[in-house]
Structure 1
Amino acid sequence: MRMQGVKVGALALVAAAVLAACGGSDGFPTLTGDKPLVIGHRGAAGYLPDHTLEGYKKAIELGADFIEPDLVATKDGVLVARHEPNITGTTDVSQRAEFAGRKTKKTVDGVVEEGWFVSDFTLAELKTLRAIQPLAERDQSYNGKFQIPTFEEVLDLAKSESVRVGRTIGVYPETKHPTYHVNQGLKLEDRLLAILAKYGYTSKSSPVIVQSFEVSNLKYLRTKTQVRLVQLVDADDVNPDGSISLVAPYDKPYDFAVAGDSRTFASLLTSSGLKEVKTYADGIGPWKPYLIPSKLVDENKDGKPDDLNGDGKIDERDRVMMPATDVLKNAHAAGLFVHPYTFRSEARRLASNFKGDPKAEYRLFYDLGVDGVFADFPDHAKAARDN
């Protein structure tokens, strides 16, 4: 998934009322009353390069209940874990002279990108590459050390780690850019279904949840499997006033754009939109500002946002959390669980209310009633939940 004040007392009262109504056994106002899931976003992305077996294992060691592989397809049709079809920023491919001629341009969700693409590499070729940390602010010392795993290798890891740690580790794959893959002759869904069937994962009780930003592929999957499905909900940005910015290609599911459907991602989160989502999915994965937005402030009324922490720049630390929207309440009313993304622990990614403490952000969303969180630092998510 892409990167990126409420009154806590009032929220706690709301949470208590919801909990009393649902009789939650763990003391959380989730859809079922169970503890919210900790989902290791791309593994343990805050510590190790994204989408590596080592990163997934780290996430499990840090307490993740699920690990999340983004799935793309190789030239020979193998599902592998990479954040995007374009692997320029997540592997050392640009440093490999033998693949210099593979650099090209492709259109992904209507946007022309330049780089190296998984669909131009066989699995054997891809296995010669090594993962790198895509965010410069994070530890770069593991660059070049870890291979790109296949989806089956991720499933095998989850199974073996479940035995080792004595608890079931779930896998939460995302089908990345389904329309792009169809245009490459590499439809993801049937390949995914075949692998899930091989592992016996075909029911709602299976330790797997499949997610996508597009809609038609989820509807197709619903006709073929009963594993849990999640509709992801994106946006372009958050405006200074806290409203959601919807600019292409992050304004709507790309299959909507291709079909000429005027609905946006925000349309999916209306009461009627959520009811429709429930006809083909079990949950939603919204970008977290859809649930609790934040805004910049201008106390001086000079037309410029205030630098709340006085560091000379404007970022998340200068934003103030706002009251929660009705999205979670309406989703739960429709019978949908809610797993927002992405929670990151760096101080510059935390609103002023949290005073640099990532656990404070988690607690706010747990009090609201989210059913799980996509976390780059699973240990922080677990600590905030369990303590």
Structure 2
Amino acid sequence: MSCHTVSILLSIASLATIAFCQVEYPLVIAHRGASGYIPEHTLAAYAIAILQGSDYVEPDLVMTKDGHLIARHDNVLDLTTDIAERAEFADRKTTKSVDGKESEGWFSEDFTLEEIKTLRAIERIPETRPANTRFDRMFEVPTLEEIVSLVQAMESVVNRTIGVYPETKHPSHFASLDLQMEEPLFAVLTENGYSGPDAPVFIQSFEVANLQKLAGMTEIPLVQLLDSSGQPFDQVLSNGTLTYDEMATADGLKAIAEYASGVGPEKYHFIMPRADDDTLSADTKTTFVDDAHAAGLVVHPFTFRAENEFLPLNFRNGTDETAIGDMIGEMELFLEAGIDGVFVDHPDIGKQGVEDFVNSRLL
């Protein structure tokens, strides 16, 4: 091979590298692990998500009676565990008001970690994901420490860095029980080497005050979640008037940027509403992503799910609500809008969608 030929090949390689570097690679965030394939918030769900290419895994965190952080979608345990079948815990079923909503069931804050460890996970939405029920009662409820240990062990398996994206669930509720979440969360992350703005961690919350408290404790990036209606519950408790819609305005996003590095909006309400006929197109795109970027915030909307039940009409596959539709097609619209990451229940499909999007920009 001549020196001239080598020079040409190196030049082509250099141009390809430059082109690739100019294309942002949106993050794939495994929503509760690979929750489309296996019961959510289990070590198995997180491991599968990592093997399917996720950049981050997301544990929702609630507190035990003795102050441990465990991964559950909610503090109502009968939604995702077999506790309703456990005769020894029958007398602890109760009714509580959590974030202003009355719920009946068994609550994480009424159980020690030792008791939680006797429970087994079950599929949260068996009607939508009946195949996942074959794994019911196979897996424990993991602690945050166990999730971090798994992630760090898996990094050597996949030979890349895996991030952790915890959400503090009901922080004001737990604080009212003297089970503040910020200190134990900060301790677990610090003890495992996560610190500073470049740590592969995002901490997210629907509330404001606990993110502001964390902002005074750590430089780890924080993400303000934005629900499709209402107010952060800490605002309700303080008789504040701030709503999620107000937080999503250009001025509201600038205020968020004073304590957070990103926002996690409900994707249809804030970025691209569905049309009246339940279809989706870029015609309804708002200025939200541009406004967030102007404020210096990354945008990680939730949640992309592959089943027809969750998809707009023009991305469904047939009429079976449980059938897999065109999630990649839906994702493309939002990626075109400039989002920086996707929360997905099906990490392999999410990864393929992001790769297809990036590759299309390199052509």
TM-score, scaled to structure 1: 0.82
Between the aligned partners of 1:342 and 1:150, the Cα distance in structure 2 is: 23
Matches within 5 A, 1:210-359: 210-235=203-228, 246=229, 251-289=230-268, 290-297=270-277, 318-321=278-281, 322-355=283-316, 356-359=325-328
Q: Does structure 2 retain, via aligned residues, the 8 Å contact 1:294–1:320?
A: yes
Q: CA deviation at 1:354?
A: 2.3
**DSSP 3-state at the match of 2:148:** helix
Q: Does structure 2 retain, via aligned residues, the 8 Å contact 1:178–1:217?
A: yes
Root-mean-square deviation (CA), in Å? 1.3
- 1:376 corresponds to which residue? 345
Letter in 2 for 1:261: G
Greater shift after overlay, 162-171 or 361-370? 361-370
**DSSP 3-state at the match of 1:57:** helix
Letter in 1 for 2:161: T
Q: Does structure 1 retain, via aligned residues, the 8 Å contact 2:275–2:284?
A: no
Q: Does structure 2 retain, via aligned residues, the 8 Å contact 1:90–1:131?
A: yes
- 1:84 corresponds to which residue? 74
Between the aligned partners of 1:121 and 1:26, the Cα distance in structure 2 is: 49
Give the structure with the larger helix fraction: 2
Matches within 5 A, 1:105-144: 105-136=95-126, 137-138=128-129, 139=131, 140-144=133-137
Q: Does structure 2 retain, via aligned residues, the 8 Å contact 1:342–1:373?
A: yes
Cα deviation digits, residues 80-120 of structure 1 (max 9, x gap)? 10111111110000011111011011110011111000101
- 2:354 corresponds to which residue? 385
**DSSP 3-state at the match of 1:319:** coil
Q: CA deviation at 1:214?
A: 0.2
Between the aligned partners of 1:54 and 1:252, the Cα distance in structure 2 is: 34
**DSSP 3-state at the match of 2:135:** coil
Q: CA deviation at 1:24?
A: 7.7
Structure 1's unaligned 5+ residue stretches are: 1-22, 29-33, 236-245, 298-317
Structure 2's unaligned 5+ residue stretches are: 1-17, 317-324, 357-363
Between the aligned partners of 1:345 and 1:131, the Cα distance in structure 2 is: 22
Q: CA deviation at 1:296?
A: 2.1
Greater shift after overlay, 352-361 or 180-189? 352-361
Letter in 2 for 1:37: L
- 1:156 corresponds to which residue? 149
- 2:182 corresponds to which residue? 189
Between the aligned partners of 1:319 and 1:366, the Cα distance in structure 2 is: 17
- 2:11 corresponds to which residue? none
Counting aligned pairs with the same residue, the percent is 46
Q: Does structure 2 retain, via aligned residues, the 8 Å contact 1:296–1:320?
A: no
Between the aligned partners of 2:49 and 2:352, the Cα distance in structure 1 is: 13
Q: Which has the larger radius of gyration?
A: 2
Letter in 1 for 2:345: D
Q: CA deviation at 1:295?
A: 2.2
Letter in 2 for 1:369: G
- 2:84 corresponds to which residue? 94
Cα deviation digits, residues 237-273 of structure 1 (max 9, x gap)? xxxxxxxxx3xxxx01000111111121111110110
Cα deviation digits, residues 172-212 of structure 1 (max 9, x gap)? 00000100001111000011111111112121111111000
- 2:31 corresponds to which residue? 41
Greater shift after overlay, 131-140 or 354-363? 354-363
**DSSP 3-state at the match of 2:196:** coil
Letter in 2 for 1:274: L
**DSSP 3-state at the match of 2:103:** strand
Between the aligned partners of 2:216 and 2:301, the Cα distance in structure 1 is: 25
Q: Does structure 2 retain, via aligned residues, the 8 Å contact 1:49–1:132?
A: yes
TM-score, scaled to structure 2: 0.88
Q: CA deviation at 1:335?
A: 0.6
Q: CA deviation at 1:319?
A: 3.2
- 1:240 corresponds to which residue? none
Letter in 2 for 1:275: K
Between the aligned partners of 1:72 and 1:80, the Cα distance in structure 2 is: 6
Distance 1:24 1:40, change over 3 A: farther
Cα deviation digits, residues 42-84 of structure 1 (max 9, x gap)? 0011001110000000101111000000111111101110111
